[in-house]
Amino acid sequence: MKYINTKAFAEEQDQNDPLSHFRSQFHFPVKADGSPKIYLCGNSLGLQPTQTSGYVQQELNDWAKFGVEGHTDAKTPWLTSHEDLAQPMAKIVGAKPEEVVIMNTLTVNLHLMMVSFYKPTQKKFKILIESDAFPSDKYAVESQLKFHNINPEDGLILWKPSEGEHLCRHEDFEELLETHKDEIALVMVGSTNYYSGQAFDLKRIAKRCQDENITVGFDLAHGAGNIQPNLHDIGADFAVWCTYKYLNSGPGSIGGCFVHEKHIQNQSINRFVGWWGHNKDSRFNMRVGFDPTPTADGWQLSNPPILSLAGTRSSLDLFEKAGFENLRRKSVKLTGFLEFLIDELNNTDISILTPRSPEERGCQLSIQMKNADRSLFDQLTAQGVVADWREPDVIRIAPAPLYNSFTDVYEFVQLLKLCLYGN
């Protein structure tokens, strides 16, 4: 795609964008003068769809009207409310509906999955993760090691970028696996790294793990709604994600979880269980032994938070309307435009840490600003840009294809210029 560094070009792209009408279906935070801020932070918290309040209000009304009978009489009966979300969510992560369950939150699901899929033995007990994993993932993995009386110093293998680099090389992953294959019990990596924006080749990682008979799970926090990870086909054993970043379901909203179908009926896999994972037919007959639902639902513990499900339903309805492939097509163009404009600044202090190839990234670019400090970011914030700053000198910009425009991206770079060079 050929880009031009003008506002007219950005506006023309917006006019020709078949998804441009979705923008008006989101609430944008506004500046003091009432105009919308330039929101480029969907990697942290997605914006609120305007229709979400209606979805939530419906549940409140049904609760008011029916009380406990809302479980069966609500517009979306609460008893089965999560079930019809599995289908649209499965499309987003490339799974079969029976492999997907919407439950809990990300870190909780990660622990539940490790309870089932991290099976250390005397010899094979190590966990491999990427070195720049999100802190919560690292804490979760370390605490699982400790839970099995393994010192994280002995049990953790870090996949690191080479000296002086920011990205992890797959060759290094493969070398680590070759060296440690007899000791590794689990590989758990983020599908798209939260810091660098690097999207790993999940197929390549999964294949290598399968060749060595090593369990592999993915954290899709920055992947779900951003890239399509094809979980079923690549044969991931499990995956977990949140829905409040690119999936716009609301702060702290309910998470997602994938269990590959090859494991679902395997009764030898242990799990932590609760009543909501019990077969629906006899769930309310409280005197029988645990009989898991023969889908990923069998990993559920509790009855789900209906208000969070309402936010998730609203969001997934929008994704269904937009079509994930259309979103991804726009995303590649939009982020490519951002990359082009940053390159046009021709400033040797500014570099893009994220890979240059669209296949190796989602929508986020992590931009390193040498010799800058937080004051630059604070200036941008004062100008109405919502982005994310990571110490010491990285700004993360994530144009979300569902609601961001080419003009947003253009204006962001204009403001960056203003903050860097003055008028």
Ligand X SMILES: *Cc1c(COP(=O)(O)O)cnc(C)c1O
Q: Does 136 bind ligand X (CB under 6 A)?
A: yes
CA-to-CA distance for 326 and 323, rounded, in angstroms? 5
Closer residue to ligand X (CB): 168 or 350: 168
**In this structure, what token pair is assigned to residue 29?**
């935070």
Read out DSSP for 181-206?
TTTEEEEEEESB-TTT-BBP-HHHHH
Q: Does 248 bind ligand X (CB under 6 A)?
A: no
Task: Classify residue 63 by burial, with Cβ atoms within 10 Å: 0-12, 13-18, 19+.
Answer: middle
**219 appears as a binding residue in the annotation:** yes
107, 295, 308, 364: residue in contact with ligand X (rule CB under 6 A): 107
238-241/184-190 β-pairing: unpaired
From 258, 249, 255, select the one nearest 312 (Cα to Cα): 249
**In this structure, what token pair is assigned to residue 237?**
């054993």
Give me the 228-247 binding string for ligand X, x by CB under 6 A, dash otherwise. Answer: --------------x-----
Question: Number of residues in contact with ligand X, rule: CB under 6 A?
Answer: 12
E-strand stretches of 119-163:
126-130, 156-159
82, 91, 222, 361: residue in contact with ligand X (rule CB under 6 A): 222
76, 105, 312, 366: residue in contact with ligand X (rule CB under 6 A): 105
**In this structure, what token pair is assigned to residue 170?**
């797959």
CA-to-CA distance for 259 and 54, rounded, in angstroms? 32
**In this structure, what token pair is assigned to residue 262?**
């090859």
**In this structure, what token pair is assigned to residue 143?**
């605490």
**Closest separation in Å from C-beta 110 to ligand X:** 8
**Closest separation in Å from C-beta 312 to ligand X:** 13
Window contacting ligand X (CB under 6 A); options: 99-107, 156-164, 210-218, 371-379: 99-107
Applying the rule CB under 6 A, the residues between 174 and 213 that interact with ligand X are 190, 194
Q: Does 132 bind ligand X (CB under 6 A)?
A: no
Window contacting ligand X (CB under 6 A); options: 131-139, 166-174, 175-183, 411-419: 131-139
CA-to-CA distance for 316 and 311, rounded, in angstroms? 9
User: What residues form the annotated binding site?
Assistant: 106-107, 134-137, 219, 222, 244, 275, 303
User: What residues form the annotated binding site for pyridoxal 5'-phosphate?
Assistant: 106-107, 134-137, 219, 222, 244, 275, 303
Binding footprint of ligand X on the chain (CB under 6 A): 105-107, 134, 136-137, 190, 194, 219, 221-222, 242
